[in-house]
Amino acid sequence: MDKDDRKRNRNIGKNFICRLQCMFSHSSSSKSRLSLEDIQQWSESLERLLESKYGLATFCNFLKSEYSDENIDFWLTCEDYKKIRSSFRMSSKAKKIYEQFIRAESPKEINIDYQTKEQIKRNVKAPTVHCFDEAQKIVYGLMERDSYPRFLHSDIYRTLLENFAAEATKG
């Protein structure tokens, strides 16, 4: 990465910080404000990162910038799917998830093994709340081993950390 790329990435990071703060600034509660401590906690685990609305938004933005957001999109879609209680809605949503993420050549096809794909194909015929659990575990593992470490070394994360650290030393 040359000097111009680093400068461009730093600017992207700073612009993202502004967008992130604006996104959540409508709430005046100090609990909902992003802090240096929050950002530092994201490095503890992927789970910790995803539990934070700021962390999740930042991670999603990072993955989109890498054109690799299908895994987080699938994982989040599965989390929403698990909240469905109507069997009709569950059936409809399961088919949509299959078409969008599982089927070969689907728009956001995730990288899972053939056996898991086949099991899901069978499960979708009579879906339950657990029909995507195995694929979701695989995708979470991929993010934890691959995307998450890249995120922690990314300009977006490092810029956030540096800017909030600088703010903390000022105040």
The DSSP code for 84 is -
Q: Is residue 90 classed as helix, strand or coil in its secondary structure?
A: helix
Which structural domains are found in the chain, ordered by start? 3-67+147-170 (1.10.196.10), 70-144 (1.10.167.10)
* Predicted local confidence at residue 170, as pLDDT: 76
Q: What confidence score (pLDDT) does residue 19 get?
A: 60
> Over the chain (171 residues), what is each successive 10-residue block's mean pLDDT?
56 58 50 84 97 95 93 97 95 97 95 97 95 97 97 93 84 61
Which of 133, 152, 158 minimizes the C-alpha distance to 10? 158
The residue written with tokens 């930042």 in the block is: 58
- Our separate counts of H helices and E strands in the chain read 10, 0
Task: Report pTM.
Answer: 0.82
